[in-house]
Amino acid sequence: MTAQKQLLHLVLGGELTKLDGTEFRDLEKLDIVGVYPNYASAHQAWKAKAQQTVDNAQMRYFIVHLHRLLDPETDQGAA
């Protein structure tokens, strides 16, 4: 059995300044839900949080594909 490659995903959310935007109203109130090892588990966490806040139209949760931003094998600037 071979191990699957870890593809990190971050789930976060907060109130937006505009319904059609992605700028958060208050970064100090940002809800960092967590970091997940794959998209499926991140999606499950995102869905649960989104359903909890369905009554607040300004509240949005996002999945950030950290694995696309971080590649330790090719990152020359890593300290």
State the pLDDT confidence band at 50, using cuts at 50, 70 and 90.
very high
Q: Tell me the domain boundaries of the chain.
A: 9-69
pLDDT of the residue at 2:
56
Q: 6-37 b/e with 16+ CB inside 10 Å = b?
A: eebbbbbbbbbeeeeeeebeeeeeeeebeebe
Q: Taking residues 42-64, what's their average pLDDT? A: 95
Instruction: State the architecture of 9-69 in CATH terms.
Output: 2-Layer Sandwich (3.30)
CA distance 51 to 10: 18
Query: Does residue 77 have a pLDDT over 60?
Result: no
